[in-house]
């Protein structure tokens, strides 16, 4: 009799655990679809789409005007993304500078707006796991980012083919897809940063200002800081110091700059989209002796930027991990 009761209790416990797991997954799916629908129906998404679309078309126009004077006829399809016009930056430069705006705009009020409106306590009171809230918001924002980036990148390439009649090779198509994937990871990092500030800061305006300040620092002031530190450590004020310290000065400057996600992303995608780039580190004269000039294959280019991809992915995980831990440790009270 006792054995029958014990088995019955064990089956009930197992069924209860399975129900909890199903409810948790259902809760995550429901939150993901709800957040995704909110993003796609919002005016914010429309504004971002217009901003990225207008800059993409402007960069395509600049590239088309510059391709007529191009001396090198190799990899012309890739030059649609990397060539700048007389006064218009390339698509690659546009997306490196303006891409973070997408992530910042989608996540700066992800948590604190729910808290201020009083809906966060209702969410956490539902029979779902608490971490499903922040995971669902991040996954929905990443899906919107991927939609914008892939659609704009594909549209730019398609319009370039229609206008110029170019026939991209398989390697060029793969390089563009890898470039767009790098871009999604890069923008998703800024989404995670904005969600982190949304968790830490109580007001949406504060989290937005903090996110924008960090973006401006990495995009503009990080290179200045790296130059100041390198000049202090290895000055090159005269010919002798330049002869002695040039290598160490450049290496330190490059290492500090690579702490910036903006520089890390720009260096990686420039290598992927330009097969003529053969190294991302310092190249000495001795290393150039006997080297054969030419283009790198896709596999060789990926070997050069593999550490960059790993670094961007690590930064993304650290940023989202900080937001996750901060949200899970916060106390949510009813207003």
Is residue 7 in a domain? Answer: no
Is residue 9 in a domain? Answer: no
Q: Helix, strand, coil shares of the chain as percentages rounded to 5?
A: 80, 0, 20
30 contacts: CB under 8 Å, gap ≥ 6: 128
Task: Give pLDDT, residue 15.
Answer: 46
Contact between 97 and 52 (Cβ < 8 Å): no
Task: Give pLDDT, residue 22.
Answer: 39
Q: Which residue, 171, 181, 121, is CA-closest to 150? A: 181
313 is in which domain, residue-wise? 15-329
Helix axes 2-41 and 43-67, enclosed angle (nearest 10): 60
Is residue 316 in a domain? Answer: yes
Contact between 233 and 251 (Cβ < 8 Å): no
Segment-wise mean pLDDT, segments of 10 residues, the chain, 335 residues: 46 43 59 87 89 87 76 77 81 88 89 77 73 89 93 89 84 92 94 92 88 91 90 81 78 87 91 81 54 74 88 92 87 57
Is residue 288 in a domain? Answer: yes
What is d(CA 175, CA 171) in angstroms, rounded to the nearest whole number? Answer: 6
Task: Give pLDDT, residue 238.
Answer: 74
Is residue 94 in a domain? Answer: yes
Task: Give pLDDT, residue 282.
Answer: 62
SS3 118: coil
Structure tokens at 321: 């991990």
Task: Give pLDDT, residue 141.
Answer: 92
What is d(CA 51, CA 49) in angstroms, rounded to the nearest whole number? Answer: 5
pTM score, whole prediction: 0.85
Domain count, the chain: 1
User: Residue 165: which region, alpha, beta or left (left: phi > 0; alpha: psi -120 to 50)?
Assistant: left
Is residue 5 in a domain? Answer: no
Task: Give pLDDT, residue 331.
Answer: 67
SS3 72: coil
Is residue 318 in a domain? Answer: yes
């Amino acid at each position: 009799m006792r054995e029958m009761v014990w088995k019955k209790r064990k089956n009930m416990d197992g069924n209860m655990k399975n129900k909890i797991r199903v409810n948790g997954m259902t809760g995550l799916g429901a939150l993901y679809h709800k957040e995704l629908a909110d993003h796609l129906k919002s005016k914010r998404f429309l504004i971002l789409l217009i901003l990225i679309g207008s800059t993409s078309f402007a960069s395509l126009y600049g590239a088309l005007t510059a391709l007529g004077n191009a001396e090198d006829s190799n990899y012309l399809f890739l030059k649609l993304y990397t060539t700048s016009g007389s006064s218009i930056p390339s698509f690659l430069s546009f997306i490196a500078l303006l891409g973070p705006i997408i992530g910042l705009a989608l996540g700066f009020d992800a948590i604190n707006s729910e808290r201020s409106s009083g809906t966060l306590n209702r969410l956490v009171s539902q029979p779902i796991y608490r971490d499903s809230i922040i995971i669902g918001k991040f996954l929905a924002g990443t899906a919107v980012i991927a939609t914008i980036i892939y659609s704009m990148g594909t549209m730019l390439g398609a319009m370039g083919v229609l206008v110029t009649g170019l026939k991209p090779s398989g390697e060029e198509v793969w390089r563009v897809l890898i470039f767009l994937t790098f871009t999604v990871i890069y923008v998703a990092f800024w989404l995670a940063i904005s969600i982190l500030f949304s968790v830490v800061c109580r007001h949406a305006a504060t989290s937005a200002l903090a996110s924008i300040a960090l973006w401006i620092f990495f995009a503009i002031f990080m290179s200045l800081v790296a130059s100041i530190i390198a000049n202090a450590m290895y000055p090159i004020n005269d010919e002798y110091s330049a002869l002695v310290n040039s290598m160490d000065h450049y290496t330190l400057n490059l290492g500090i700059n690579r702490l910036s996600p903006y520089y890390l992303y720009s260096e990686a995608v420039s290598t992927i989209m330009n097969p003529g780039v053969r190294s991302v580190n310092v190249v000495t004269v001795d290393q150039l002796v006997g080297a054969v000039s030419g283009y790198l294959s896709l596999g060789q280019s990926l070997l050069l930027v593999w550490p960059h991809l790993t670094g961007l992915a690590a930064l993304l995980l650290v940023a989202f991990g900080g937001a996750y831990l901060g949200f899970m440790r916060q106390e949510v009270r009813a207003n």
